[in-house]
Amino acid sequence: MNFHFPRMISGLLLLAVCIWSHGCAKPDQPAKNQAAATQSAAARPALVFMTDFGTANDAVAICKAVMIGIAPDVRIMDITHQVTPFSIEEAARFLSGVTPYYPAGTVFVVVIDPGVGTNRKAVVVKTKKGQYFVLPDNGLISPVIDRDGLDSAREITNSSWMIGDAISSTFHGRDIFSPVGAHLAAGWDYTLVGPTVQQLVRLTPKTPNITDKGIEGDIIALDDPFGSLITDIPGEEFKKLGYSLGDRVIVLLNKKPFTLPYTKTFMDVPVGDPLLYVDSRGQIGLALNERNFSVVNKITPPGTIFIPKKGAPLKAK
C-alpha cells in the first residue's frame, strides 16, 4: 500500500485546526446570543400599569389589548389592579413605592379616576428622573413629584393620541390613558400630546402629630393578605421616642390599649404573638407572627394610633 505521508499529515493538521476552531467558537456563541437578547430586551419599552378595576371583569384585558395594538413590542408590567376602589391616597402610596425601582424612560399608566367624565384633566407628567406618568390630574402623582421633582406636565387634548373620536364618558382607561401610554412607549414625542399644565392637583395627606408626650398618627392601610397594620408614623420619628429593640410598647389603637414588643422581624416573637416593627417602607407597622392582626383584633383602616414617649404615662385620648 502506497502512503503519502506529507499529504496525510497536512490533511490531519487541517482537520485538527478546523475541529479546534469550531470547538473554541462554541463557548463564545451562547455569550453572544445572550448579549444580543439582553440588548433586544433593553430596547423594548416598559409600560407599568395600575388601576382599581379589579380582575373580575374585562377592563384590564381591554386596556392591555389597546396598548399592544398600538405598540406590539411593549412590555406591560402590573403594579396591581386591586387598589381600593376610588382610593387616590392608596394608589399614590403604591406608585411612590414602586417607581424608584424602574429606570428613566419608563411609562406608568395609572387609572384611579373617581372624577372620570368630569372637567378634571387627563395629563402626562414627566419627572426630573425622566419617567412618564399618564393619569388623571387628581393628586396621584404628588408623592412622586415631591421626591423626584417635576420636569413638566401636559394636558392630553390631541385626539390622534386617543383610541378614536367616540370617547366614552366612563372608560378613559381604555380610550385615553392606555393609548397615550402606548404611544409614549412606542417613542412618540410627548410634547405633542397637548398644552402645558402650569399647576397640578396636589394631595394634602395628614401627617402625624408629634408632641412632647408622643406621636399621634393614623392607620392608613393593611399589608394584605397578612393583615398587618400600616401606619403613617415614620420609623425614624418613632425611634426618637426612646425605645430600644426588645422593649414592650403600650400603644392606643382607636383609643384602645395594646401592648407589643418592639422587634426587628416577625420571628422575634412566638407564632401568634403581636409585634411592633419598622416595615420595608420605613413606617411603623403592627402585626401578629403568622396570624392576621386585623382579623384577630377587628381593626381595619382608617383608624388612629398613639405611641407615647418611653416612660411617659399612657392616658386614653
Residue 307 contacts by C-beta under 8 Å, 6 or more apart in sequence? 214, 215, 217, 233, 238, 241, 249, 251, 284
* DSSP per position, 37-93: HHHHHHHS-EEEEEES--SSSSHHHHHHHHHHHH-TT-EEEES-S-PPTT-HHHHHH
Question: Domain 209-308, what architecture?
Answer: Beta Barrel (2.40)
In the three-class reduction of DSSP (H, G, I as helix; E, B as strand; rest coil), residue 316 is classed as coil
At residue 18, the pLDDT reads 43
Averages of pLDDT over each 10 residues, the chain, 317 residues? 47 45 49 48 80 96 97 96 95 96 97 95 98 98 97 97 88 97 96 97 90 95 92 95 96 96 97 96 96 96 95 72
CATH fold of 43-192 reads Rossmann fold (3.40.50)
At residue 316, the pLDDT reads 55
Residue 181 CA, distance from chain mean position: 16
Burial 1-15 (b: 16+ CB within 10 A, else e): eeeeeeeeeeeeeee
Q: So where are the chain's domains?
A: 43-192, 209-308
At residue 45, the pLDDT reads 77
Cell numbers for 263, please give them: 422587634
Residue 186: how many CB atoms within 10 A of its CB?
16
Residue 25 contacts by C-beta under 8 Å, 6 or more apart in sequence? none
In the three-class reduction of DSSP (H, G, I as helix; E, B as strand; rest coil), residue 14 is classed as helix
Residue 259: how many CB atoms within 10 A of its CB?
11
pTM: 0.80
